[in-house]
Amino acid sequence: MARVNLRAAFISGTSSTVSAQQVFTNRTDEVAAFDRALTELRRTLDTEISPVVDRAQGRRNVLAYYGVGGIGKTTLSQELERRLLADADGRNAVSVRIDLAEDGASDIETLLLRLRAGMGALGNRWPAFDLALASYWARAHPGEALQDFLDASPAVRRAARSVGLSEQIAASVEHFAPDEAGGLAGLAQRAALATYRAIRNRVREGRLLSECELFAELIEADATYETLSFFPYLLAWDLEQQQSRGGRRPDVCVFLDTFEVLGSHADRVAEQYLQRCVYLMPNTLFVITGRNRIDWADTGMSGELDFTGPERWPNLHFSNDTAEPRQHLVGYLSDSDAERYLCEALTRDGEPAMPAPVRERIISGAQGLPLYLDLSVSHFVELLSRGRQPSEDDFGGSFTAVATRSIRDLPREERDLVRTAALVDRVDAGLLRSGQPSLPDGCVARFLRRPFLTHDDAYDLPYALHMALRVAIMDADRGLADGWSDHDRREVAARLLRALGDRLGPSADRTAAAQSLESGLKLSGTYGVFESWMARAVQQLVEAGQWTQIGAGLTSGQSGVPEFRAIRAAVQGVQLRRTGRAPEAVRLLDGADTDLDPGSPVAQLVRLHLAHALRNQGDYTKAAEFYRHLLDGEFGAAARYWLCDHDYLNGRFRAALHTLLSEEGGSPAEEGERLRLIGHIWRVNARFSEATAAYREAITLARAEGLAAAEAKALVNLAQTACWSGDGSAVSTAAAQARELLDLVPNPVELVKVRSAEAMASATAGDSAAAGEAIRDTRRLADSIGYRGGHNLADVAQVLLSCRLGDLESAHRTRSELDIRTSESGGNTYWVPIVTSWLDGVEAAAAHTPSVDWIDGAAAALVRWARVGPPR
């Protein structure tokens, strides 16, 4: 309310004697509940065993206010935060405010960094969290500077810079690992990984935060969102240490607004991660505001959340109506509260500017809804600015009627602007001009000063209408003589959608892509419009591994537009495939492009991910058919690469090599993949020097670009090549270097390949015991991750070992198993003629699989293979 009234003072005119006051309608019970909640939390924490350590204790750190939209929950939350900080004694209170409706606010990385930034106001010593974050960041964000991530989000940037967050984290790392602190910048991934290695080694040696239970486990765990979602425990532990060093326990409050947004997601994963934050930080009061009651304490909950039931959340159960903190239904304002607000909102010479009959009419219509009062005050000011003395006949009616008056108060041009602003979550001057291109800049500028718009310059699109007002405006507009038709809304929505795409530009980062895509998908799903840039933005986020962030714009759409349905299927297909459910992804995506132009980017996006899903489930041949049809389209580069890979797997070496050598890769990562595939082709043709050269070039490129995962794969390939030369030291060196990186950027498939290379090297050297053990390890590792290709490599090593031992019967039996395996999978068929050259000679090997197109002919290639095999 304060913002509305303050801005109203500026538009009421310089000659007006009316003064706009900043008023908070005193919700006595709700404010008192907050005070009691803080007191009770302090009492709960002053126990012998801290709930941070005793994670089985029920949590009493959630104060929830829920109620209908427009009831004043956000205003209440802001007032509680103001009171907390105003009453704070020096540095003994800190608040973090997060509106979950903001773009990316529920992303666990963003959420944790905002929490950490807020805590930074209490001091710069947060070693457990900071060291764990540095370790996570080195592996989860290879080559990406933490500062770049902090700067990408307006809300995070503002919070982080207020306390110097990156400097605080760097100081923690420098204190515990002084030789490695420079790696935190992330500009060189090897430096960042060295930081992680130094931290991890000290943890393993018991020399680093051994008193923090589970710290070692979190450092050692994979760098995933799942792991990160348990890091709030470390923040809570660090906060506990702040208090144990003496002085008064600080009051830490996290204000989570618009909590109902989490309920619009397709699943409860985001809520699951956030609930972990709340549960694992029992020394922090979470003040949650939203439209719905929180169900965490309900019995019989599904397994989507970790901590449920009344024993976990004793104060949140519906039966509790006394103990604080608890859940409160935020009711409508009483008539006396509404009267107080209207008397104090606008004054003249210290007296209420609104006559009593006007106030009575407004109170009667408002029925206690604060947003109704706000709009009525704005209407009163508008009438005064026109030189009219408002009367009770100008007020009253339903909330829709009030919204109608608010629209009618505006000039015709600004009525179109408020209708435009109601179509999207957030706007700025540029987006409004795109929606209404015929309006002059001055008109847009005047509209942005209207009191019903909220403003937050932390966002690229800083202006917004209250959600309840957006809905009311849409309803009210249908009853106006100049109201928009559904066709009008679609036309403006289409212009806004094009403008969102234009804002991205060719060099837009994934944060901008995610924000524009979310707004774009909501427009598409609601108004039946679509733009092809959305398909490209989806693919950009998928390639960056950000596919989990796309769902927000897809959940509320009811559009029957086939492009929207198809892009939703594509995203869901990616989610299924990336979570190991490729057959389900195939069923979902097969036919999802039926109603689309086959050449459209959306149709190609669907077919690209259908091909990926088919490949994941082992249907290489059918996947290749889809890739071929994508060659000349939007995603032709990706299709070309995977077709080359398919040619390689099926022994069409010359065709694959010709394509790969005819063009360079795009990004450094893509160029590294191209070089490695070239190396694969040379390697299986027994052209080991050419393969080695390709892999070494890939290693050099990966090191220069700080791509540790790519470097690890190329080192594995180098070991797979060196194993045939009899140079055991070269294999050991490459394998050790690869493992060192794979320990930091885990990839279990590459570990299978490393072990198989060691099996080959031992078999070539005649060390049967070491070879046998390595072969068994290869199969065990392959089975543990479901990697069928690992058995092909183990089979080749086994044939080689059996030949060395003179056990030809066993060698023939293994070759038969290899033949069956590769035939069924539709790939790696070249291994059968290779091992046949050891068993039956070059001529028999060439005849065995004539379909293999060796680089320089079957005879030359198989003679080379026969030479590296056992003597016959």
Over residues 352-375, the pLDDT tens digits come to: 889 999 999 888 887 777 777 888
- Structural contact between residues 255 and 81, judged by C-beta atoms closer than 8 angstroms: yes
Mean pLDDT on 439-463: 82
DSSP string, 530-552: --THHHHHHHHHHHTT-GGGSGG
The pLDDT tens digits for 775-833 are 999 999 988 876 778 899 999 999 999 999 999 999 999 999 999 988 887 778 899 99
- Residue 139 token pair: 């592996």
**Alpha carbon distance 75, 344 (integer Å):** 17
Phi and psi, residue 622, nearest 5°: -65, -35
Mean pLDDT on 733-757: 88
Instruction: Tell me the pLDDT band of 10, cut-offs 50, 70 and 90.
Output: very low
Task: Detail the DSSP E strand segments found in 353-481.
Answer: 453-455, 463-465
**Alpha carbon distance 295, 301 (integer Å):** 8
Helix 768-785 × helix 748-765 angle, to 10°:
160
- Structural contact between residues 536 and 570, judged by C-beta atoms closer than 8 angstroms: no
Q: How many CB atoms lie within 10 A of CB 57?
A: 17
Q: How many CB atoms lie within 10 A of CB 81?
A: 18
Mean pLDDT on 399-410: 76
The pLDDT tens digits for 453-478 are 877 776 778 888 877 778 778 887 87
- Structural contact between residues 428 and 462, judged by C-beta atoms closer than 8 angstroms: yes
Q: How many CB atoms lie within 10 A of CB 684?
A: 23
Of 824, 760, 828, nearest in space to 796 by CA: 760
- β-pairing, 453-455 vs 463-465, is antiparallel
Of 343, 341, 353, 340, nearest in space to 18 by CA: 353
**Alpha carbon distance 793, 298 (integer Å):** 52
Mean pLDDT on 333-362: 85
Of 229, 237, 249, nearest in space to 282 by CA: 237
Task: Supply the pLDDT for residue 102.
Answer: 78
**Alpha carbon distance 600, 607 (integer Å):** 11
Task: Supply the pLDDT for residue 296.
Answer: 92
Phi and psi, residue 732, nearest 5°: -60, -45
Q: Element (H or E) spanning 481, and its range?
A: none
DSSP 94: E
Q: How many CB atoms lie within 10 A of CB 482?
A: 11
Task: Supply the pLDDT for residue 732.
Answer: 95
Bond before 325 cis per omega within 30 degrees: yes
Mean pLDDT on 173-180: 71
Of 692, 654, 746, nearest in space to 138 by CA: 746
Instruction: Tell me the pLDDT band of 653, cut-offs 50, 70 and 90.
Output: very high
